[in-house]
Every structure is written in C-alpha cells, then in structure tokens.
Amino acid sequence: MTRSPLRRRALSSVALAGLALVLAGTATAAADTYPSRALRIVVPYPTGGFNDTLGRLVAAKLHEAWGQPVIVENKPGAGTQIGSAAVARAPADGYTLLVVQFPFAANPWLYKRLPYDTVKDFTPVILAGRSPMLLVVNAGSSLRSVADVLAAARARPGSLNYGTSGDGSSNHLAMERFTGMTGVKMTPVPYKGSTPLLTDLAGGQVGLAFDAFPHALPFIQSGKIRPLAIADAQRSALMPELPTVAEAGVPGYDVSSWHGFVVPAGTPRAVVDKLNAQLDAILAMEDVRKVFRQQGVVPDGGSQEAFRGFIAGQMDLWKQVVRQAGIAPQ
C-alpha cells in the first residue's frame, strides 16, 4: 500500500520526536552517572603560575566532591595552542577540561591558522577569576603617576620603553590599548615571560610595564618595583589606595587578565550544567577564595552563558586592539 505524502510527513515527525526524546533521555542518563571515572584538566602553561595553581586547586576540590581521580596535565607551548588543540580533539563527554586565559580570546587575531576554532570547538563552562593588570615602574623611577608617564611620552615620543612578555602577550596588548587610547608612542621590549621582564624592570633596564597582579605582587612586596595604577574598572581591595588607570587620566581604560574553564564542543548540556554548578560551588569556598586573594586574583563564577558572553566581548576587544596596533598575524 502506498502511503500519502501527508502520512509520510506525519510518520517522519513522529520519528523525529521519538529520536529527540531518546537523545534527551540519553543526555539525562549521562549526567546522572557523570562522573564515573577519572577526569583530566589540561593546563596549557608550564608548572607554576596561577593557571597551574587554579588547575590543581580545582582538581583537588573536584576529587573531594565527586570521589573520582582528577589528573592535571601541563601542555605548554605555541602560545597555549598545543594544550588547547589537545582538548579540542578530546571526546565531548565532560571528562576533559581546559584552563583558559587571555590568549584564548586574543589568539584568533594573532595567528593566521589555529589548530582549532575558538568558538566552534569549545563550550564555555565558567569564568573562574580575574587578575587585574598593574602599571608598574622601577622603585627608583622618577615616574610617579600615569600623568607623569603621559607627559614623558609626549615630550619625547618613543623614548620611553616598556617591557612585554612577547608580541601579542597580555601585557603587550594592554600597553597597545593604553597608547592607542592616549595617542602616545613608546617602544616595546619583548621578553620570554613575566619573570625576566619584571627582573629587568626591578634592575632599571626597562622603563615600565603592564603585568598581571599575581606576577607583579612579589616584586612590589619586595620593594623592587612600584605600582602607579590598576588597569581594572575599580580599585582593588588588596591595594585600595592605588587609583585605576581611568581615574588617573585615561577614562574608559579597563584591562584584566582572566581565567576560566571550557570543555570540547558537543559535551551534553546536562553534563556542562553539572560541571558549572560544582565549579561555582568550589569558587565560593573560603579556602579557595583565600588562595585567589593571596595571588591577587578576584574570584568569579556564574553561568556558562555569562562566560560565553564574556569571551565574545574579549574577542571583540582584542580584535580591535590588534588591528589598530597594526600587529600582523603570525
């Protein structure tokens, strides 16, 4: 018997509805049993530093909460591309997480070809925290304020030099945003990381720099460098006397380094929700927040949608800064 087109469409609709119910049931079942084995947190940085601390701190807390082993793997290299690509290729089952930071949003504009698609290959889980950037100088510098920096840069364009952790690094792009908003010219001096940069700043070999709070704090505490301003939208509770860059003469300036977690795209929504809820609870723990504060990081948290929107905003910002600065993708 030949079925009519209308009947065929009706049967097709019923089949699709049935398939949707089966898939929904499968996703719910996966969340109910998740996690049933070891998890892996990939940190695309070397050991040491806050991203590594974050990965290991969260791993310990997840193990306590869920009773499953949580392995931390450091996969540094190529501006976080090696570790990020490894997670992009991992099964989308919630058992592999990636610690992400500033390069996650900036790399699409700094490299011609990435071994992954930042938007399509990952699902955001949660924003873990933010590390305000500090504008710092040598402790003996004659520069005592943002106004002094601007005056010196305008008096002799290009004579002031500033340290970076390499082309396209967070402190490089933070300064490019600063010079772009103020119209001053300064000369970048690239280093292989924050430690050699801040060591030379402490020794007077370079004039000034932006760097993340956790990197600069030990040098500030030792009296070797001096902060002029914080590059956040508001003052820090750790240094309430320190003005923001916006307050000090550059209205609208706001740059923070940040840290979060993503998983491979396609991870079941119920599993992502479960991860988000548990990580949000971990970020609210006082002992966790204490570690954050000790390293100059402001704890965050919230929904995956909020983090998705935050990443989109960061990508838009650094696309604009990279293009205005004329930085050619590698």
**Model confidence over 200-250: pLDDT tens digits?**
999 999 999 999 888 898 999 999 999 999 998 889 888 899 999 999 999
Q: Is the separation of the CB atoms in 73 and 84 below 8 Å?
A: no
Q: Comparing 32-131+258-325 with 132-230, is the CATH topology the same?
A: yes
Parse the chain into domains and list their residue ranges: 32-131+258-325, 132-230
Joined together, the tokens standing for residue 324 give: 């205005």
- Three-class SS state of 138: strand
Q: Is the separation of the CB atoms in 123 and 272 below 8 Å?
A: yes
- Dihedral pair phi/psi, residue 204, rounded to 5°: 85, 10
**What is the share, in percent, of the chain residues with pLDDT greater than 90?**
75
Joined together, the tokens standing for residue 170 give: 């967070």
User: Is the pLDDT assigned to residue 22 strictly greater than 90?
Assistant: no
Q: How does residue 29 score in pLDDT terms, banded at 50, 70 and 90?
A: low
User: Is the pLDDT assigned to residue 32 strictly greater than 90?
Assistant: no
C-alpha span between 96 and 77 (Å, rounded)? 19
User: Is the pLDDT assigned to residue 1 strictly greater than 70?
Assistant: no
At 201 the pLDDT is 96
At 273 the pLDDT is 98
Residues in the chain: 330
| Nearest Cα to Cα of residue 278 among 100, 63, 71 | 63
Average model confidence (pLDDT) for the chain? 91
Average pLDDT over residues 135-144: 96
**What is this structure's pTM?**
0.85
Q: How does residue 30 score in pLDDT terms, banded at 50, 70 and 90?
A: low
At 3 the pLDDT is 53
At 100 the pLDDT is 97
| Beta-sheet pairing, 298-299 with 208-212 | unpaired
Q: 73 has which bridge partners? A: 42
Alpha-carbon distances of 73 from 54, 55, 117, 303, rounded to whole Å: 12, 9, 21, 25
Q: Report pLDDT digits (tens) over 278-329.
A: 999 999 999 999 999 888 898 999 999 999 999 999 999 999 999 998 888 8
Q: Which CATH class is domain 32-131+258-325?
A: alpha beta
At 18 the pLDDT is 57
Q: How does residue 16 score in pLDDT terms, banded at 50, 70 and 90?
A: low
User: Is the pLDDT assigned to residue 25 strictly greater than 70?
Assistant: no
Average pLDDT over residues 33-46: 96
C-alpha span between 122 and 94 (Å, rounded)? 11
Q: How does residue 127 score in pLDDT terms, banded at 50, 70 and 90?
A: very high
Q: Report pLDDT digits (tens) over 240-285.
A: 999 999 999 999 999 988 999 999 999 999 999 999 999 999 999 9
Q: Report pLDDT digits (tens) over 174-189.
A: 999 999 999 999 999 9
For domain 132-230, is the CATH number 3.40.50.850?
Answer: no
